[in-house]
Amino acid sequence: MVHWVSDSEDSDKFEWDSDEEDAVSFNAAGSGSSALASTNIDAPGPSTRVANGNGKAGPSASAVQEYVDMGFPEEMVLKAMKDNGDNGADSLIELLLTYKAIGNDPSLENGSASHCDPQAAKDSDDDDNLENWDDDDAGGRNRGPTFDESDDEDFLHEMSQIDGKVDYLVKMGFPEDEVNMAVTRCGQDASISVLVDSIYASQTAGGCCGNSSDHEDNSYGGRKKGRPMEGNKRKRKRFGGQAQGSRGPLDGSDDESMRLPKPMVGFNLPNGLRSANRSLPGPAIGPPYFYYENVALAPKGVWTKISRFLFDIEPEFVDSKFFCAAARKRGYIHNLPLVTRSPLLPLPPKTIFEAFPRTKKWWPSWDPRRQFNCLQTCVASAKLTERIRLALTNSEDPPPVRVQKYVLEECRKWNLVWVGLNKVAPLEPDEMEFLLGFPKDHTRGISRTERYRSLGNSFQVDTVAYHLSVLKDMFPHGMNVLSLFSGIGGAEVALHRLGIRMNYVISVEKSEVNRTILKSWWDQTQTGKLIEISDVQTLTSEKIEAYIRRIGGFDLVIGGSPCNNLAGSNRHHRDGLEGEHSALFFHYFRILGDVKAIMARL
């Protein structure tokens, strides 16, 4: 996607980044690594599938490699793709996670003989090596055992699979005795989803809610506590299963919208507006603490899905207009405490006139704006502002309603300010820095176009700092941070302004421009160590473990993956988490899981 600021005649129709539902999206909310498409393996066509010897479709090497890059063994990916059939990318990811949790098949761990040579699939420029991927006997070679072929497995391996399922369900929060009873009822070969439904069916029959109601009871997202059947539906949606003996599929799906609060004030604000308590599910409790951000007005079902992958934690939806003079509707999922929060001081101005008092002199009485809309990655052209000037100059004072309506529409869309008689202009980069909570000249030294793009993709520092403020007293000697999709360092600036020392920061950011901005700020303000990585896909489990051993673990994993395919106005590529860029969310999920698992093991 090309990012630019144009002076062309049609620039006022240009696509821009926004979290407003009627706007047009321009770029990501935070840059990430090279695009990882969450490939839909059902999609026909030679780029996705290759016909095998039976005329059936097998996965392309590129499709397989994308999931291998996410940390799954190649043979496991092939097996999951076959078993998943036409259920889509989301179902495939959950199946891979289940396989990885159980992870006992010797064909996947020990590299036993198979009809497909994994190395050949990697090294080949075509997909010929995958032609016979689902034959029972290719070329006279017998296939190694898979998850569905247990006839040749001995008793010990069979028991290890059972233990793996039990451990997996216990980690999800189910009581071990109930899990064992479900295995007895459903059999040792029962799938995870069948076992989950069996546990819930037993709990419902006994009037017990089990551990499914660990979540807080509040108005965010519409979840309610203490009703067993709602917990059943939630878990069934997660695993795609159905209780044995049930008469048909349950109502509801992952496409259900998560209800956004009005006003969008999160769990609490500095002025005391709204207060909420919550109890986190056991697996979500640190270490480390984690914090994830993205646009609030995402496509239907996206936040439900994000929450489901991040321990079913309730998102905290906040509009930054409660912290500064510009709106920025964002959702945050985190395991931070909610008490002892404190705002950054001095408090930033919350109206346009407080932030830029010089504009008041020229502000017409018929322009009712007191705050800006979400700050974007591009700005209005000079030709547009000239058209507005001419329309006002050629009108009486006050101008006709139709002229007022036209001018106000453009001013709201482009966040224009009054800088003279009948004269409007876009915000300058340093004014955007001020509104977003960054120090003066934070992005200075790069082109104006790059400054607008980088700032439009950043955190609003005061909002994020309010949430992170609970960490100050917890880490008096400093902390180690894994910063994913760092952008221009919004998280780092927030921690610095809170007075929290950063001993180590591992920063992952694709944009060289953004890395330059962060490095320059770091060298001027910090004494800790900054380690930069350019591609989130290269941060493997092995590298994570090496960093953890080197620095002693991470205290915070923070970041917001790209919103290109989520922003409210991306009419052409608003594909949700399956989109080319926004699928990078799954790397946040993968890396967080690796960090938690490695730190728990070491």
The catalytic site residues sit at 563
Which residues does residue 292 pair with via DSSP β-bridges, in sequence order? 333, 559
Binning the chain into helix, strand and coil, the percentages to the nearest 5 are: 40, 10, 50
Distance in angstroms (rounded) separating the CA atoms of residues 602 and 592: 16
CA distance readout (Å), 350 to 347, 370, 408, 433, 490: 9, 9, 20, 15, 19
Which residues does residue 479 pair with via DSSP β-bridges, in sequence order? 502
The phi and psi torsions of 69 (rounded to 5 degrees) equal -65, -25
Q: Strand 502-508 relative to strand 417-420: parallel, antiparallel, unpaired? A: unpaired
The phi and psi torsions of 95 (rounded to 5 degrees) equal -65, -40
The encoded tokens of residue 254 equal 């992952």
CA diameter of the chain: 90
Whether residue 464 contacts residue 293, with contact meaning beta carbons closer than 8 Å, is answered with yes
Residue type, 404: Q
Distance in angstroms (rounded) separating the CA atoms of residues 592 and 598: 10
List CB contacts of 469: < 8 A, sequence separation 6 or more: 340, 341, 342, 343, 344, 498
Whether residue 587 contacts residue 536, with contact meaning beta carbons closer than 8 Å, is answered with yes
From the list 393, 331, 402, 340, the residue with the least C-alpha distance to 366 is 402
Burial of 408 (0-12, 13-18, 19+ CB in 10 A): middle
Distance in angstroms (rounded) separating the CA atoms of residues 456 and 30: 8
List CB contacts of 48: < 8 A, sequence separation 6 or more: 39, 40, 41, 59, 60, 63
From the list 598, 541, 484, the residue with the least C-alpha distance to 72 is 541
Residue type, 473: D
Whether residue 24 contacts residue 15, with contact meaning beta carbons closer than 8 Å, is answered with yes
Which residues does residue 558 pair with via DSSP β-bridges, in sequence order? 291, 483
Distance in angstroms (rounded) separating the CA atoms of residues 468 and 494: 8
From the list 583, 59, 79, 519, the residue with the least C-alpha distance to 305 is 583
The DSSP output letter for 250 is: P
Distance in angstroms (rounded) separating the CA atoms of residues 148 and 587: 28
Distance in angstroms (rounded) separating the CA atoms of residues 364 and 399: 10
